[in-house]
Chains A and B, each alone.
Chain A
Amino acid sequence: MSDDKLLEIKDLSIHYFTEEGIVRAVNNVQLSLRRGETLGLVGETGAGKTTTALGIMGLVPDPPGRVVSGEILFGGRDLLRLNKGQMRRHRGKDISMIFQDPMTSLNPIMTMGDQIAEVIRLHEKLSRADANRKAAQVLEMVGIPAQRMNEYPHQFSGGMKQRVVIAIALACNPQLIIADEPTTALDVTIQAQVLELMSQLQSELHTSMLIITHDLGVVADSCQSVAIMYAGRIVESGRIEDIYEDTKHPYTKGLFSSLPSLSTKVKRLKPILGLMPDPANLPAGCPFHPRCDSCMPICTELDPQDTGLGNGHMVRCHLYGQHDAGEDLA
């Protein structure tokens, strides 16, 4: 069982140490991802999704950020124990990342071909000519004619740039791709194209993928499992059917009821009231309790622990805690 786990994050905490105080961006996060699987990491802006991803990449800006505790096991090796050189050799080769904003993620003064060939030459012993040839292939793979190799980012549209960003991420056939809101900056038609491209390439290359998004539609389309993040914690995670059909955590329920549905007619969408707490100043107890409909006295005092519900479904809520507040609640 544990053999096919490509990525396993245990108890990861990443804090930013600023002059205003300690920002607890990621707190005791547990995540695991099997080979070939796609995991969706869902949460509001500021929930710590990107910081988690940067943690895996070893790219948390330091200062002010620091991994405070935890393990990130990648193929059984703890990435946090690697030295800088070892981590550098993993980046781009075994783990690569697709960034949120294609407009700013490409170097404006390098040709597209050079930017793709750069990652190839770093990790594969190829001559310049061979690397360029491979870069051309990768570019064709994401649907851009190879003749455009020598053009610069400003000559490309947003969707085309995102394709190049994806090409860079795929160039060395990584085992894991982290896609940080890969479609947020794109318009809806292009979003669909890019998502389709990503899932098609993923199935061809058998890559595992971690998709960070706040779009539950994207998750339903392309993920096998999902983790819901709130205030730096994973509040609920599991297989996608379990989460979507058997939603447990009040926050996850809130997320779903704030979505419009095509099948049932709803007069009014129900937003989750209130705002996400400031990660520099988290409330005591469960960080969601000020916004929670099912808040109990214990929630204001004690931070809940992970509770397994079987079949890999985990929830972090006192409703399902050891004291069994009631299985059928809500």
Chain B
Amino acid sequence: MLRYIAKRLLTMIPVLIGISFIIFVLMYFTPGDPAEMLLGDLATPEQVDALREELGLNDGFFQRYFNYMKGLLKGDLGKSYVSKMPVWDEIATRLPVTARVAFLVAIFAVLIGIPIGILSAVRQYSFIDSITRVFALLGITMPSFWLALLLVLLFSVQLGWLPPSGLYGPIYYIMPILSISAVSIATITRTARSSMLEVIRQDYVRTARAKGQYERVVLFRHALLNAMIPILTIIGIQFAGGLGGAVVNEQVFAIPGLGKLMVDAIKARNYPLIQGSVLVLAVLQSVVNLVVDILYAFVDPRIRSQYSRKVGKKAPKLAVAAAAASDEAAATTLEGGDI
């Protein structure tokens, strides 16, 4: 098992190199000049050129990539063009805010999504199930910023119960969590429902009933545990996505998180900050995927026995499927983080 974890951590290195290259290339070819944006409309061409020289923007592609990678290897993400602070420090002040929101969102979504999903599966085609499916569909299709705006209109403007923006106390978290978690709740509910539906028809669930087991235990110990793998995958994807910051919702609620930081950085063509944030997110995503894969092993002894197999044996089917799931997840976050 430890060997498996070590192997997974090592495979993160080429992934990160690849991601850093892609994001560097994207930034290189993105139109817009950071120097002009920093100095504003009144700057003379000479001033702009001097700043470009200072930021190293006049160097060729390979020179710039080389400098960037040299910094990376030393653990230096560079300095923000705007604040002149180290990128690492900027991220370190913002990430905890986003992580806290993402964590609360994940817990909230799991606590709501899984029970509703189970209920919906157990009472398939009932009234509750229909309602659940309608709301799950709404939750997935409705843009979360729109929901955020509606919430602000209702609770802040009309009723005046909740503060519309900022993050200064527990009460400030309510609307961001509600709006951001809608998608997660809907996704987790749907996954829990379909996964449970598949499992409760299995013969071993019938065996458990034939033993005279209590229905509650049948559902949780025999069915839910077996249905957990897809649910865990989805929770991991949702949580990792949340770490990328609910980019738009952080704007709506003026939350000083990573998403807002990235949007501001992109607007200013603040290359080091963009590259640094994406890289940090990629690392977090990989770690979350690894944690999810380890959780698989706790749930399913078949996966456990495959992890503990000696390296070099033919790749087992289930592990391959799990790896494919994490790749997919990585792709999802990148899209999200890249706006």
CA distance A106 to B209 in the complex (A): 12
Q: Are B213 and A109 in contact (CB under 8 A)?
A: no
Instruction: Choose among A91, A99, A154, A155 the residue that contacts B212 (Cβ–Cβ < 8 A).
Output: A91
Please tell me if B84 contacts chain A, counting CB pairs below 8 Å: no
Instruction: Choose among A57, A101, A123, A155 the residue that contacts B210 (Cβ–Cβ < 8 A).
Output: A57
Q: Are B300 and A108 in contact (CB under 8 A)?
A: yes
Q: Are A104 and B299 in contact (CB under 8 A)?
A: no
Q: Are A105 and B204 in contact (CB under 8 A)?
A: yes
Mark B213-239 against chain A: 1 for CB-CB distance below 8 A, else 0. Answer: 110000000100110000000000000
Known: A109-B299, A152-B301. A101 touches B203 (CB 8 A): yes
Q: Are B213 and A108 in contact (CB under 8 A)?
A: no
A311–chain B nearest beta-carbon distance, Å? 34
Number of interface residues of B (CB under 8 A): 21
Instruction: Choose among A57, A100, A104, A152 the residue that contacts B204 (Cβ–Cβ < 8 A).
Output: A104
Number of interchain pairs (Cβ within 8 Å): 73
Known: A107-B222, A109-B225. A88 touches B212 (CB 8 A): yes
Please tell me if B309 contacts chain A, counting CB pairs below 8 Å: no
Please tell me if B47 contacts chain A, counting CB pairs below 8 Å: no
Q: Are A104 and B210 in contact (CB under 8 A)?
A: no
Q: Are B202 and A104 in contact (CB under 8 A)?
A: yes
Instruction: Choose among A104, A109, A122 the residue that contacts B301 (Cβ–Cβ < 8 A).
Output: A109
- The interface residues of chain A lying within 8 Å CB-to-CB of B225 are 109
CA distance A299 to B222 in the complex (A): 49
Known: A152-B301, A154-B302. A108 touches B210 (CB 8 A): no
Closest to B201 in A: A61
Number of interface residues of A (CB under 8 A): 30
Q: Are A92 and B222 in contact (CB under 8 A)?
A: no
A158–chain B nearest beta-carbon distance, Å? 13
CA distance A168 to B212 in the complex (A): 12
Closest to B228 in A: A109
Q: Are A106 and B210 in contact (CB under 8 A)?
A: no
Please tell me if B207 contacts chain A, counting CB pairs below 8 Å: yes
Mark A136-179 against chain B: 1 for CB-CB distance below 8 A, else 0. Answer: 00000000000000001011000000000100100000000000
A94–chain B nearest beta-carbon distance, Å? 9
B30–chain A nearest beta-carbon distance, Å? 49
Closest to A155 in B: B305
Q: Are A99 and B301 in contact (CB under 8 A)?
A: no
Please tell me if B208 contacts chain A, counting CB pairs below 8 Å: yes
Instruction: Choose among A63, A92, A104, A108 the residue that contacts B211 (Cβ–Cβ < 8 A).
Output: A92
B210–chain A nearest beta-carbon distance, Å? 5
Q: Are B210 and A107 in contact (CB under 8 A)?
A: no
Mark A115-141 against chain B: 1 for CB-CB distance below 8 A, else 0. Answer: 000110011000000000000000000
Please tell me if B206 contacts chain A, counting CB pairs below 8 Å: yes
- The interface residues of chain A lying within 8 Å CB-to-CB of B202 are 104
Interface residues in B217-273 by Cβ distance below 8 A to A read 222, 225-226
A-B contact pairs, 27 of them (CB 8 A): A57-B210, A59-B210, A88-B212, A88-B214, A91-B210, A92-B212, A93-B212, A96-B210, A96-B211, A97-B210, A99-B203, A101-B203, A104-B203, A104-B204, A105-B204, A108-B204, A109-B300, A109-B301, A109-B302, A110-B222, A118-B208, A119-B211, A122-B212, A152-B302, A154-B302, A155-B305, A168-B207
Known pairs A110-B222, A118-B208, A119-B213 / 10 extra A-B pairs, C-beta < 8 Å: A59-B210, A88-B212, A88-B213, A91-B210, A101-B203, A109-B225, A109-B300, A118-B211, A119-B211, A152-B302
Which residues does A use to contact B, with CB under 8 Å?
Answer: 57, 59, 63, 88-93, 96-97, 99-101, 104-110, 118-119, 122-123, 152, 154-155, 165, 168
Which residues does B use to contact A, with CB under 8 Å?
Answer: 125, 202-204, 206-214, 222, 225-226, 299-302, 305
